[in-house]
Structure 1
Amino acid sequence: MTSAVELEHQWDRNLKVLPFVLLALATVVCIATFPVMGPVTVTTRIVFGVLVAATAVWTWRWTYLYDRPHPVGYIGRTLLVAALTVLHPLFCIFAWIGFLDAFDSFRGRWRWVAMAATALIMATGQVGGAPPYDEWWQGALWPVLFVVNFGLASLMGRYSIHLDTVSQERAETIVRLENALAENARLQEQLVAQSRQTGVRDERERLAREIHDTIAQSLAGVVAQLQAAEGSADAQDVRRRVARATEMARTALVEARRSVQDLTPAELADAGLADAISTLVASWRDDHGVEASFVVVGDATALHSEVEATLLRIAQEALANVAKHASASRVGVTLTFDEADVILDVRDDGSGFDPAAPRRSSSFGLGVMRERAQRLAGTFTLESAPGAGTAVSASIPALPRGPA
């Protein structure tokens, strides 16, 4: 299949050959019709032949040597064609070529001047030669033919200008579209790269939260149980604490695998949220010897797995903070189900602290709890004061269990 570039080159080659084809045709027709024009002198024939040769050389020079239309080339050829048309009117066959390249040779109003000169030569040849005329109709027809030739040529010229303008606009539109596509491709690459970076950052943050909320807490519990066993003189108490440390280590291993695979927390695999938090509170009470209660308000319903996992992790972190910092004697955990939200409250009667005071760089838990709640369009509030205990509350939309 021929491409657009090849077609354009083919047209250029054909347009370069066309003047010589018309020149040959006009020459043959003129030579063949010289006898019907009456007596033609040898001098006239010689002059005609010289002018034809000069026209051929002149046309070849500006077509192939300079390889572009030029006003000087156009003017010189037009004068030669005018002289040949005076010698033989049918040479106006070749004069038509002036309409073809007038717009390429000149700019502005000179285009129309060049086309008028060609139309004048065409009209002269069509009425049988240059004035004065033997018949009155020739003189009357000459301006009419000039107007017709110039009008038709002007119409085609204006249409050619319109086509060139449309073609140029289309070419510019194509260039703009190509640039827009290239820009879109570049932006798409940037978005993909940013999305990849965001995904990596979110995954790192998720793993950090999972490790902090589950594995790190379980391992801290293991260390606490082993330290207590080391300082105990009761063999039965030592065995109990070692067994508890072993259980915590196994739990940490399970959570490590589930964190990597982003699965539901182990506590929620076979139980609902209320049961999982109840088990958590009971286990925490046994491990730390602190009175802890758990209350469910409203009708417990199955929630979306992300909601349940988030509330369970917040409860784990809140209890871990109580064990580390509060020195509390009582802890209360409340899970409230209402129509729009599910609310988790954890309160203690410990030492409390000033929430406005600068926090230690290692204080990771409060920020994690807040991020977990906000990640699901929820809220997290903290109330505390030195010596007045601490209360944390997380409220998350009660999304029902099912597809996200």
Structure 2
Amino acid sequence: MTNAEWTPLRVGFAAWGPYGLLAVGVLTAAGSAGVVGMSGSDMYLSAALVVAALALELGRPWVLRHRPPRGRAAACLYFLRWAFGFVLTWLNPFFAFYAVIGYYTATVQLPRRLVRAGLALTAVTMAGSEIGGMPPRGTVAWFGFAVVLGVNIAIVSLFTRFADQEQRRAVAQAETIAELERTNTALQQALDENAALHAQLLVQAREAGVADERRRLAAEIHDTLAQGLTGIIAQLQVVSNAPDLSTARTHLERAAALARHSLGEARRSVHNLAPVELEDTALPEALKSTVAAWGERTGARADFTVTGTAEQLHDEVSATLLRIAQEALSNTARHARAARVGVTLSYMGDEVILDIRDDGAGFDPAAVPARTRAGGFGLAGMRARAERIAGSVTVESEPGQGTAVSARVPLVRHDR
């Protein structure tokens, strides 16, 4: 027992109980002195022992002030108190009121190896009082003392065993609670670290996405705008050397058409810098409108389904899944010649799964050129987008058996 556990006893029964029981013993012994046949010397000896016991109780807190509650000093005080109680009970059985305190203090003052001995000695004192006083006189009295002593020891052993079991149960519960608290603390730390890692991952994904968009925009400017401007310049040069007005007007119209086309390409490139579909709607609604528009544009049947409980996702997660869906549908339109496409968005507890399936021509994933797998904005681009937020993209396809694209990403909720 620790000092903290001992503190309540210092201010409770263990602190004031001995004084009260000693007072009860003195009063009952004084009233019964003539009945039990105490002589004058017995009364003087009893008075001296009462004074000694009172001094013991008064000095006990001072002696134990800087010592362990179940150390050697506490044990010496316990057995000294028992000796006073035993002699007093020998002189007058009613002093057993004071001696009984040994039952209540043995487990808190004695080391574990001496508890049973202390309780047995107290039982001897109490048995002597219960048979009318010590020593027993005659065979019957000794037999009665043995029986009463046996009953006292049995009762004390039984209650001590129950107390030990209860204490072990309390210690086990305290250890279990402490272990649960440590586990909860470790789990909370892990959750906090996981949230921090997700936040860092999303920042990195955003930075990498910006770099990818820059490369994509540069490629589109080179492939569309630059070529369109080159064509416009070429047409204008022809106009400057045109032999007649009709020829000049024809080339001017071609230059204007190229300019309009280049302007449309520029607008499309700017539009694709960020998923504007997510500005005013959540991911399920944005995917639903994207799938519906794709079906109207291609003439194929396009179905969209949501499973699980929809949640407000982090902007980067929503943008990643929308871009993957757009790229997969774009690939289907260009290569698959599919008559039916199904898109499913599934909320699965701690992750979100996006599935795009078609019944088109299919292909052999292993036969995709290495250059296409290494870069570009097709399958490699989808995988790169998912991996930036700790996700993955798998593709299952066979020639003539359609294609299934599945993207799995962590479910990171929107910052509130």
Per-residue Cα deviation, 1:302-334 (whole angstroms, up to 9, x for no partner): 244878622354489x8xxxxxxxxxxxxxx56
Provide the rounded CA distance (Å) in 2 between the counterparts of 1:82 and 1:272: 101
In the TM superposition, what is the alpha-carbon distance from 1:172 to its structure 2 partner? 0.6
Does 2:129 correspond to 1:125? yes
Does 2:95 correspond to 1:97? no
Contact 2:89 2:95 in 1 (8 A): yes
Contact 1:225 1:241 in 2 (8 A): yes
Provide the rounded CA distance (Å) in 2 between the counterparts of 1:6 and 1:180: 25
Partner of 2:230: 227
Per-residue Cα deviation, 1:15-43 (whole angstroms, up to 9, x for no partner): 211111111111111112213234631x3
Q: Map of 1:5-404 to 2, 5 A cutoff?
A: 9-14=7-12, 15-38=14-37, 40-41=39-40, 43-67=41-65, 68-69=69-70, 70-131=74-135, 133=137, 137-203=140-206, 216-217=219-220, 220-232=223-235, 233-235=237-239, 236=252, 237-258=254-275, 261=278, 271-273=293-295, 275=297, 300-304=300-304, 309-314=326-331, 335-337=337-339, 341-343=358-360, 355=369, 363-365=375-377, 368-369=380-381, 371=383, 377-379=394-396, 396-397=403-404
Structural RMSD (CA): 4.2
Q: In structure 1, list runs of 5 or more residues that go unmatched.
A: 277-298, 319-332, 347-353, 382-391, 400-404
Provide the rounded CA distance (Å) in 2 between the counterparts of 1:364 and 1:398: 17
Provide the rounded CA distance (Å) in 1 between the counterparts of 2:226 and 2:210: 22
Q: Secondary structure at the match of 2:123?
A: helix
Provide the rounded CA distance (Å) in 2 between the counterparts of 1:345 and 1:173: 57
| Code of the aligned partner of 2:328 | L
| Code of the aligned partner of 1:32 | G
Provide the rounded CA distance (Å) in 2 between the counterparts of 1:394 and 1:204: 38
Provide the rounded CA distance (Å) in 1 between the counterparts of 2:101 and 2:81: 10
TM-score calculated relative to the size of structure 2:
0.67
Number of aligned residue pairs: give it.
Answer: 336
Q: Secondary structure at the match of 1:131?
A: coil
**Compared with structure 1, are the counterparts of its residues 344 and 245 closer, same or farther at alpha carbon in structure 2 (3 Å cutoff)?**
farther
| Code of the aligned partner of 1:248 | E
Per-residue Cα deviation, 1:93-127 (whole angstroms, up to 9, x for no partner): 11111111223333455322221211111111222
**Compared with structure 1, are the counterparts of its residues 54 and 307 closer, same or farther at alpha carbon in structure 2 (3 Å cutoff)?**
closer
Provide the rounded CA distance (Å) in 2 between the counterparts of 1:51 and 1:157: 30
In the TM superposition, what is the alpha-carbon distance from 1:254 to its structure 2 partner? 2.6
**Compared with structure 1, are the counterparts of its residues 176 and 30 closer, same or farther at alpha carbon in structure 2 (3 Å cutoff)?**
same
TM-score calculated relative to the size of structure 1:
0.68
Provide the rounded CA distance (Å) in 1 between the counterparts of 2:58 and 2:88: 18
In the TM superposition, what is the alpha-carbon distance from 1:337 to its structure 2 partner? 3.4
In the TM superposition, what is the alpha-carbon distance from 1:66 to its structure 2 partner? 0.7
Per-residue Cα deviation, 1:193-238 (whole angstroms, up to 9, x for no partner): 2333344445555566666557852574112211232243134033
Q: Secondary structure at the match of 1:302?
A: strand
Structure with the greater relative contact order (CA < 8 A, sep ≥ 6): 1 or 2? 2
Q: Secondary structure at the match of 1:336?
A: coil
Q: In structure 2, list runs of 5 or more residues that go unmatched.
A: 240-251, 305-321, 342-356, 387-391, 407-416
Provide the rounded CA distance (Å) in 1 between the counterparts of 2:195 and 2:110: 53
* Percent of residue pairs bearing the same amino acid type: 18
**Compared with structure 1, are the counterparts of its residues 145 and 105 closer, same or farther at alpha carbon in structure 2 (3 Å cutoff)?**
same
| Code of the aligned partner of 1:44 | D
